[in-house]
Amino acid sequence: MRADREGAVRRPLLKVSGLRKRYGAIQAVGGVDFEVFPGEIFGVIGPNGSGKTTLFNSMLGQITADEGRIELNGEDVTRLGPLALNRKGVGRTFQTLQVFGKMTVRDNLLVAAQEHHGSMLGRMFAPGDCGLGARADALIDRFRMRHVADKKAGELSYGQQKLVDIAMAFMSEPALVLLDEPCAGVNPSLVGGIGSLLKDLNRNPAAARRSSFVVIEHNMDFVMDLCHRVMVMVEGTVMAIGTPDEIRSNKRVLDAYLGS
Ligand SMILES: Nc1ncnc2c1ncn2[C@@H]1O[C@H](COP(=O)(O)OP(=O)(O)OP(=O)(O)O)[C@@H](O)[C@H]1O
């Protein structure tokens, strides 16, 4: 729980407590605690091997943590798998592209909503397509992809495919989106655009609810510009959590990570 500027107590959307995961002799995640609040963009940074991906995969039900508890809106979701979490409003993007190269951009978005609305075929023949076509078109416009909407995704540049990948995560209108290195492999000239897009999606006043994001990213300028708070992981544990300014001026973080 945390009090906002007006003093009202805010309940976390995501609460991770005492999370641990070991691989044999390696303690990948060694007792991690943090909270993400509604509407917050929360960054996770740390050197290679510090446990970020293991933490993500545990939160997404892709691996089972050895210990700890994960709560979504106060509900214990520790043992839920990816599909059940997706149905509860958790979306994700992967480090590597997940788009279907032979399908159009628009169809990629429609397929992404499949888990929420039954099979692709069922949806295609359902009257009014459950509103998914309209949602796909709205995202296509928001991501400025109208000119490529009917092109095969595999024909697009890597950066454009990355945008399709991110847009797919938003088809289910998630409350929480976990983004795994959204800038990885993207031309530096496109990185600013991805940041603006995510900020725009985060504050979207038209959406029924504001999405919160947890973002793993090695591009420090991107993280510091985008995130409201940042968590620094070192050797599977939390070294610091704070605003970008607090993290940039934290001596331990500078010595262990940022300063290197
Ligand atoms: N499936 C696995 N089997 C064995 N060891 C693993 C496995 N997955 C991760 N590890 C180890 O756990 C530690 C944390 O890895 P993890 O991938 O979570 O770190 P990371 O911070 O995401 O790294 P990177 O920034 O390089 O993606 C590392 O020492 C890694 O070698």
**Tens digits of pLDDT across the chain (260 residues):** 665 555 556 799 999 999 999 999 999 999 999 999 999 999 999 999 999 999 999 998 899 999 999 999 999 999 999 889 988 999 888 777 778 888 999 999 988 876 554 444 444 545 445 678 888 998 899 888 899 999 998 999 888 898 999 999 888 888 999 999 999 888 888 888 899 999 988 886 555 567 899 999 999 999 999 999 999 999 999 999 999 999 999 998 888 777 65
Asked whether residue 27 falls in the same domain as residue 62, the answer is: yes
Decide which of 111, 145, 173 is a domain's last residue.
173
Give domain status of residue 162, yes or no.
yes
DSSP string, 109-173: HHHHTHHHHS-HHHHHHSGGGGGHHHHHHHHHHHTT-GGGTTSBGGGS-HHHHHHHHHHHHTTT-
> How is residue 96 written in tokens?
């590597």
What's residue 135's pLDDT? 86
At which of 121, 145, 173 does a domain end? 173
Q: Would 204 be classed as within a structural domain? A: yes
Query: Do residues 184 and 139 both lie within one domain?
Result: no
Which of 154, 173, 192 terminates a domain? The answer is: 173
Residue 247 Cα to ligand 1 midpoint, Å, equals 23
> Rounded to 10 degrees, what is the CA torsion of 82, 83, 87, 91?
50
85 with 141, same domain: the answer is no
Q: Which of 22, 50, 239 to mutate to test the pocket of ligand 1 (most atoms within 8 A of CB)?
A: 50
- pLDDT in the model for residue 119: 47
Residue 146 falls inside a structural domain: yes
Task: Give residue 62's identity as a one-letter amino acid code.
Answer: Q
pLDDT for res 114: 67
Report the pLDDT value the prediction gives residue 29, as an integer from 0 to 100.
97
> Which residues form ligand 1's pocket by a CB distance below 6 Å?
23, 26, 28, 46, 48-54
My answer on whether 55 and 160 are in the same domain is no
| Pairing outcome for strands 14-23 and 26-36 | antiparallel
Domain containing residue 253: CATH number:
3.40.50.300
> Is there a single domain that holds both residue 158 and residue 139?
yes
23 CA distance to ligand 1 centroid (A)? 9
With respect to residue 63, please indicate whether it lies within any of the assigned structural domains. Answer: yes
* 117 token code pair: 């609305």
Tokens of 215: 């973002």
On whether both 72 and 182 belong to a single domain, the answer is yes
Domain-located, residue 139: yes
> What pLDDT, on the 0 to 100 scale, is given for residue 133?
86
Q: What distance in Å separates the CA atoms of residue 137 and residue 256, rounded to the nearest whole number? A: 45
Classify residue 94: in a domain, yes or no.
no
Q: What per-residue confidence (pLDDT) applies to 6? A: 54
The residue whose CA is least distant from atom 11 of ligand 1 is 28
How many domains are there within the chain? 2
Q: Are residues 106 and 69 in the same domain?
A: no
Let me know whether 85 and 183 are in one domain: yes
Residues 165, 187, single domain; the answer is no
Q: Indicate whether 155 and 188 sit together in one domain.
A: no
Which residue is closest in CA terms to ligand 1's atom 2?
Answer: 23
Q: How far does residue 122's CA lie from ligand 1's centre (Å)?
A: 39
> How many A from CA of 33 to the centre of ligand 1?
18
Residue 65: domain span: 1-89+177-260
* Pair 159, 31 in one domain: no
Together in a domain, 190 and 259: yes
